[in-house]
Chain A
Amino acid sequence: MTLAVARTEPISRVRSGHSRRRTPYLLIAPAAGLMVVFLLYPIGSVLYYSLQRYNVTQPWDNAFIGLGNFSTLLFHDPLFWSSLGFTAKWVIVEVGLQLVFGLGLALLVNETFVARGFARALVFSPWAVSGVLTTGIWVLLYNPTTGIFRYLADAGIGHQGTAVLASPGSVFPAVVVTELWRGVPFFAILLLADLQSIPAELYDAASVDGAGRFQRFIYITLPHLRDVVVLATLLRAVWEFNNVDLLYTLTGGGPAQQTMTLPLYVAQKAVDAHDFGYGSALTVVGFVVLLFFSILYLRVSRFGRDLGGDST
């Protein structure tokens, strides 16, 4: 028995004519309309300011400087490169771990056990918590006076004064764990929903053919999850790249700029230092980097091939 990948393109044209040709465009019109109205101008604005020297608190200095910001950024700013490198490390580690844990969690809560609904709600609840609150609670958790390490030390495990966010060796794992806490539910929810679309008889048939549980996972589950996994990891990677609230509050990019991501650097430059021109240039570079890697990622995961409408 061959396992066919579901066809997505209709074989027979039940309808024909103008209405079908226009239909997809009508269907995407609301989304496209929103993007045009609300995003064209802001994105254009960022591009425009990246070519200016623009500081709201020093308006006498504002001027058009062409690619000046970009040359400073690329050749005279070591923090740009170090933050870009750290951002890559941060994104890869976070998305990788979140995917693995999320998939594991989805598989677990898909099983049957007592109080399953309750467990699911709890497992997904970090997703429901606001960023302000998440960072606030984890600040308290990691603080040597109010946090978990103090009580562990009181109980005899570890020693007092453990400050994971302050030590260059432990700060990366500490922030990774916090973001993991928050991000795993994203994958867990999505993959749990995706697992539902796998027809049960595929498993039955494979088992009849002699496939063990691991093989069923590799040959049935994973391929079915592939589309959503590819998209979700890409979207999550972009989100992790750009989202700085956690790092901003937990470490401020420190200690000594060790946990500085590129968007955090942008936030500092554009908001704290009011240097909007340079911040815009950094944003443009971030945009180009993300665009490049998105296209690359989609190509490599051979997503484009399926988009063409072929079926195997």
Chain B
Amino acid sequence: MSLGSAFALPFAHALVARQDLPIPAWLFAWGASLVLIVSFFALSAAWRKPRFEQLHWKPAGEALSRRLLSLPVQALCGAIGIFLFGVAIYAGLRGTEAPDRNFALTFLFVTTWLGFPFFSAIFGDLFRPFNPWRAVGRAFGGGFVAIAGQRPAHLRYPQRLGRWPAAIGLLAVVWLEVIYGGSGGVAIGLDPHTCAVAACVYSGYTLAMMALFGVEEWCDRGEVFSVYFGMFSQLGFLAVRDGRIGRRRPLAAAGRWAVVPGSTAVVVASIASTSFDGGQDGAFKEILETVVGWVEGLGSSILTAERLTDTIFLLLFFAGVGLIFWLGLRGMRTVPGAPSLPKLRTGFAHTLIPIALAYLIAHYFSLFVFQEQAQFTYLLSDPLGTATTDLFGTANAGIDFKVISSNAIWYVQVGSLVAGHVLGLTLAHDRALVIWPDYVRATRSQYWMLAVMVAFTCFGLYLLSAGNG
């Protein structure tokens, strides 16, 4: 039995001609049951001493680090980032308006937006060396030093702002992608020209902020993509530390990530935006249509009504995800010896990173698999999509939708949610042992986080199984 009709993904809809089938009820049941059983055993059989508080740092050989981190290699990586970003903007401005035939949308919203989280979660921060804005900012900074003979003076970044600019920026990017581009019943979604213009505007804003506050400061705090991809990279096993490349224990870096204000908002925004994208044409389609009807009845156009309604719901999702996390924190606060709520928040926000990653994989895995075929064949040969170039002889290739079966996609979706659940519980239990050295109290505190994790995981399963009726 399928629980409804198709799980329709508006953004995927704009690019890929195929949408995923909803996961069948039996798999939903198995997934949810597995989550509950795993949770129980996690509590009853968990370890009694923290294991992820130390990085267990193992630097690679000095010669290797020296080569990989040398100025020419950094300049090359930066140049690659600038070149590809430039191609995307040019294709968006000058190429076809068909989203699926234009290099811009697939490169920016699939290869980059999905690829960096997936691979950074394994290998560490892969975006940093290729970040085009960082490369431009550093080049200008280097030029300034060469000419003026001193480092540029920057304003002091307001520490209370923390990562809030990135969290708001993340919601803005998602708004552009799935609300501005997806509303109005327009089947093609965000058009490449709008995407390119938005990229130019964002570039101007980012470079201005870098000039004001410094390149690295802005990348660590406010630059949406650096912060967002950097969040997932905390789970990865490779990093650069004190000028050396090295290995660290996977997941271990995440525990330090959330101490910067606004970090919780970033991870909450990630879960909320993926949930909204998954639900707006599926589980929540009917209620959205009802509200759109009400707003339209007030005298607005259908396009305005849809965008307004979707914006309100995106913010409601953000508030809802935050509320569930907050309830978990309130529950933990009742356990004797608990620190203040803000300390609990910064202490446990990182436990949501695996959940955010699991949501991304569950909702976009098939899109990534299918659309990357386009990326490395016809979009590479004909970036503008105008059928006037065939750079690598693959301009006439297509997407093979039979490369992966629906069953395989379902197993990846459910498997990623269950794995995210387990990793989230692992991080939460580990942190509880630091806050409550008494094992019994630590376990009691984790009843609450377990409830939070079960809620997120089952909600994720529900989104995958519910259809658009």
A and B found bound together: no
